[in-house]
């Protein structure tokens, strides 16, 4: 489940909390999403906030089939031992500014890579039986403008309801919808640190961000605004 859905449905999960650790006080552009529906397919265009969930949906659709995956995996430590345990191979590894970059270009069971998503940054390009999943080649830079173009996914048209349930959970009439655009504005007014914690890194990760989030859902040109209090 995407963390924005958790937030708006009142599910205060660790996954949701972790997604807000990166925010300081201030106003921020949040997750962006564009959905195009046709009889033959569903096309999804998204900001980097949706990378995990879109890859998981793609992997579930493909099942246990092997697919050719090209891309990179990023993290701040050597992942070679963990890759070996999972049977994942990489063709190149480089390191810059403390970040390891692993390049892969081989056949994989996509579900194995999905297991990594909660731990590492996984950027891939995959094609399988007319379906495609792609991301940009580099992680977005902090505090830079971004759009709904970091990640792209094409799925069969019969997956329309599943996609709407996951990402447009507040949509009432879905029968004839052709285009949906979603944006979020995050306003953090306070950061509440845990009492008594002297370790700065632990305190930063456990701190709660307080404020509000505004959600704009535009369905075939008709705009709907909703908001929720932030205390995550």
Q: Which residues contact 97 (CB under 8 A, 6 or more apart)?
A: none
Domain boundary, last residue among 100, 119, 145: 145
pTM: 0.87
Q: What is the pLDDT of residue 165?
A: 93
| CATH number of the domain bearing residue 94 | 3.30.70
Residue by residue, DSSP assigns the chain as: --HHHHHHTT---HHHHHHTTT--SEEEE---EEEEE-SSEEEEEE-GGGHHHHHHHHHHHHTT-EEEEEEEEEESS--HHHHHHHT---SEEEEETTEEEEEEEEEEEHHHHHTTTTTSEEEEEEEETTEEEEE-SSPPPTT----TTSEEEEEEGGGHHHHHHHH-TT-S--TT--EEEEEEEEEEEEEEPPTT---HHHHHHHPEEEEEEEEEEEETTEEEEEEEEEE-
- The residue ranking higher by pLDDT, 196 or 154, is 154
Do 94 and 139 belong together in one domain?
yes
Judge whether 152 lies within some domain.
no
Do 121 and 63 belong together in one domain?
yes
User: Please, what is the average pLDDT of the chain?
Assistant: 89
Do 41 and 104 belong together in one domain?
no
pLDDT (tens digit, 9 = 90+) per residue, 53-87?
899 999 999 988 888 889 998 887 888 887 777 77
Judge whether 151 lies within some domain.
no
pLDDT (tens digit, 9 = 90+) per residue, 94-145?
888 778 888 988 888 888 778 766 677 889 999 998 899 999 988 887 667 7
Do 95 and 137 belong together in one domain?
yes
> Range of 84's domain?
49-145
Do 141 and 220 belong together in one domain?
no
């Amino acid at each position: 489940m995407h963390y924005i859905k958790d937030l708006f449905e009142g599910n205060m999960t660790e996954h949701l909390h972790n997604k807000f650790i990166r925010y300081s006080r201030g106003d921020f552009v949040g997750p962006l999403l564009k959905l195009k529906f046709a009889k033959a397919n569903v096309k999804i265009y998204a900001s980097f906030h949706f990378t995990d969930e879109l890859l998981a949906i793609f992997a579930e659709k493909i099942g246990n089939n092997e697919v050719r995956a090209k891309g990179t995996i990023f993290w701040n430590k050597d992942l070679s031992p963990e890759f070996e345990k999972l049977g994942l191979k990489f063709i190149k590894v480089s390191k810059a500014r403390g970040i390891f970059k692993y390049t892969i270009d081989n056949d994989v069971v996509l579900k194995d890579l999905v297991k990594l998503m909660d731990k590492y940054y996984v950027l891939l390009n995959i094609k399988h039986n007319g379906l495609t999943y792609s991301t940009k080649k580099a992680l977005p830079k902090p505090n830079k403008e971004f759009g709904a173009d970091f990640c792209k996914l094409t799925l069969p048209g019969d997956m329309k309801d599943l996609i709407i349930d996951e990402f447009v959970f507040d949509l009432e009439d879905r029968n004839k919808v052709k285009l949906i655009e979603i944006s979020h504005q995050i306003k953090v007014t306070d950061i509440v640190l845990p009492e008594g914690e002297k370790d700065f890194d632990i305190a930063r990760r456990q701190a709660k961000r307080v404020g509000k989030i505004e959600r704009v859902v535009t369905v075939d040109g008709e705009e709907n605004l909703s908001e929720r209090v932030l205390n995550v």
